[in-house]
Amino acid sequence: MLELRNISKRFGAVQANDRVSFTVPTGTIHAIVGENGAGKSTAMRIAYGFYTADSGDILVDGEVREIRTPHDAIALGIGMVHQHFMLVEPMTVAENIVLGSEPGSAVSLDLKKAADEIRKVSDEFRLTVDPNALIENLSVGQQQRVELLKALYRHAEILILDEPTAVLTPQEVEEFFAILRGMREQGKTIVIITHKLSEVLSISDNVTVMRDGKVVGDLKTSETNAAELARLMVGRDVLLRVEKPDAKAGASVLKVQNLSVMGRGESKRVDNVSFDLRAGEIVGVAGVEGNGQTELIEALAGLIPGSHISGTIAFEGRDITQLDARKRKELGIAHVPEDRHRRGLLLDFTLAENTILGVHYRKPAVGFAGVMLDQKGIQRRTEQVIRDFDVRPPNPMLPARALSGGNQQKLIIGREFELPPKLLLVSQPTRGVDIGAIEFIHRKIVEMRDAGCAVLLVSAELEEVTSLSDRLLVLHNGKVAGEVDPKKTSNEEIGLMMTGGARS
């Protein structure tokens, strides 16, 4: 159905694709895996007309095709769902789906006709999306379905999905995979760009492995395993589990008492939460996304106004409930946000500029007089973050948007870890990050713990939060449903608590 032959693409000094060739059989789910920056997204963006290859051919249904724009790709039955959704939030589902191919005349937009067609496609593929709902009112999983509908509405036979599960909960992933299997049964051809090996083994028929812009493996999924795929991706054996010594917890660093955070209206997003966090330990927070984890972390980081908060937050014995984010950072509280684009980076700023966000008014960012930026100091700090956290490409003057998602994440983590913090609030540390970088980030978090930092970790990845945490809090509807020892508790028991079930 789709074939790439000797595709090459260079961005300045970076060879993103180097004679990439692989074939996607009709009616299959084909996975493309590789580290961040391996060239997998670039190759598929070329197939979609987002980029133009420097050399090589694209074949669709056995014929060489000229694909220079996404319009060309759509006309050939190719649709693509990008990692970061391309939806207009104040508009409805139907308005987003027809955007660019509006039904009706130039003076009369027939949205009713579009809504009827969308419902028909939605029912056919069991997507269950309301065409009249506003995007801003939909969950992330529902927005993912809208992106699928956009492609199916345009009669796509080949669907390219870039990190489609990066922002989905485990429950949403299962629902999503059921939808993809249904599409395969109806003859659709699906290409998934991903880094999650368990999902590759669960959903795909074939897998192409890329490293450093080249294809290093083409395998039948049934004939491979996670260890072999990881070795091909990274070029070495990779630890697929977290190895850490037992925690040596010290004095209390963070004491939260009866903390509540108000949402819209009278709803409580965090409801009467209390816990202690000590130096030298990692306390994890597990829960189905949307159960108060985001608001808890942002309240602790100082990003939610004091008027929306009740209860007390004490840091090293001092009440900081009403302190803003800057003052908390000055005390030694670092924050790795769950959304790197909205909260973590200014994408058009350089890597150097992004490494001083939050410390731009003090050393090492400013000189002796405390007025002018110290460009040499900033350069040294940036080079250290790039070196210590393996940010690629290692160019301080690149804009942050030029980095892959995983390297953007490493830049944020490097910036926050270099403070150095006494308390680290880290949310979704490996979302959208490849397996080599995941191993690296996990090791760095454990190193911070072992150096005496107190770590509060939120992750939608149950395996991640249980393997990293020394103690685990489970949230449900904004309340602590229980505290467990990850070593002595099963995932089934944790999952039951996450969904409001009673512990046995």
Q: What is the C-alpha separation between 427 and 361, in angstroms, rounded? A: 25
Residue 504 has pLDDT above 80, yes or no: no
Average pLDDT over residues 130-148: 85
- Do 258 and 171 have their domain in common? no
Average pLDDT over residues 370-398: 91
Residue 150 has pLDDT above 90, yes or no: no
Q: Between these two residues, 433 and 481, which has the higher pLDDT value?
A: 481
- Do 81 and 153 have their domain in common? yes
- Do 406 and 431 have their domain in common? no
The whole-number pLDDT of residue 169 equals 63
Domain that holds residue 491: 247-332+421-504
Determine which of 107-111, 249-253, 389-393, 406-410 has the lowest per-residue pLDDT on average: 107-111
Instruction: For residue 244, give the 3-state DSSP assignment.
Output: coil
Average pLDDT over residues 474-493: 91
Would 374 be classed as within a structural domain?
yes
Determine which of 71-75, 149-153, 387-391 has the lowest per-residue pLDDT on average: 149-153
How far is the first Cα of the chain from the last one, in angstroms, to the nearest whole number?
A: 51
CB of 207 closer than 8 Å to CB of 31: yes
- Do 430 and 411 have their domain in common? no
- Do 109 and 150 have their domain in common? yes
Instruction: For residue 484, give the 3-state DSSP assignment.
Output: strand
| Residue 27: both structure tokens together | 């009616």
The whole-number pLDDT of residue 185 equals 93
Would 180 be classed as within a structural domain?
yes
H-assigned helices in 161-260: 170-185, 197-203, 226-234
The whole-number pLDDT of residue 240 equals 64
Would 463 be classed as within a structural domain?
yes
Would 302 be classed as within a structural domain?
yes
Which residue type is seen at 108? S
The whole-number pLDDT of residue 106 equals 57
Number of domains into which the chain is organized? 3
Question: Which tens digits make up the pLDDT trace of 44-58?
Answer: 999 999 999 999 999
- Do 255 and 347 have their domain in common? no
pLDDT grade, residue 254 (50/70/90)?
Answer: very high
pLDDT grade, residue 502 (50/70/90)?
Answer: low
Which of 173, 202, 234 terminates a domain? The answer is: 234
- Do 28 and 171 have their domain in common? yes
Question: Which tens digits make up the pLDDT trace of 401-436?
Answer: 988 788 899 999 999 998 889 999 999 998 767 777
Would 10 be classed as within a structural domain?
yes
Q: What is the C-alpha separation between 31 and 204, in angstroms, rounded? A: 6
Would 394 be classed as within a structural domain?
yes
- Do 9 and 126 have their domain in common? yes
Would 68 be classed as within a structural domain?
yes
- Do 326 and 365 have their domain in common? no
pLDDT grade, residue 236 (50/70/90)?
Answer: confident
What are the residues whose beta carbons fall under 8 Å from the beta carbon of 225, sequence distance 6 or more?
201
Q: Does the predicted model carry a pTM greater than 0.95?
A: no
b/e per residue 375-388 (b: at least 16 CB within 10 A): eeebeebbeebbee
- Do 179 and 289 have their domain in common? no
Average pLDDT over residues 97-109: 72
Which of 420, 443, 466 terminates a domain? The answer is: 420
Burial class, 10, CB count within 10 angstroms (exposed 0-12 / middle 13-18 / buried 19+): middle
Q: What is the C-alpha separation between 156 and 231, in angstroms, rounded? A: 34
Q: What is the C-alpha separation between 319 and 245, in angstroms, rounded? A: 32
What are the residues whose beta carbons fall under 8 Å from the beta carbon of 284, sequence distance 6 or more?
457, 458, 459, 465, 466, 468, 469, 471, 472, 473, 486
Q: What is the C-alpha separation between 123 and 52, in angstroms, rounded? A: 35
Which of 206, 234, 262 terminates a domain? The answer is: 234
- Do 139 and 6 have their domain in common? yes
Determine which of 223-232, 240-249, 336-345 has the lowest per-residue pLDDT on average: 240-249
pLDDT grade, residue 167 (50/70/90)?
Answer: low
What are the residues whose beta carbons fall under 8 Å from the beta carbon of 260, sequence distance 6 or more?
268, 270, 271, 272, 273, 309, 310, 311, 478
Provide the CATH number for the domain around residue 299: 3.40.50.300
Burial class, 63, CB count within 10 angstroms (exposed 0-12 / middle 13-18 / buried 19+): exposed
Averaged confidence pLDDT in the chain: 89
Q: What is the C-alpha separation between 51 and 43, in angstroms, rounded? A: 9
Q: What is the C-alpha separation between 334 and 423, in angstroms, rounded? A: 6
Would 241 be classed as within a structural domain?
no
Residue 482 has pLDDT above 80, yes or no: yes
- Do 207 and 86 have their domain in common? yes
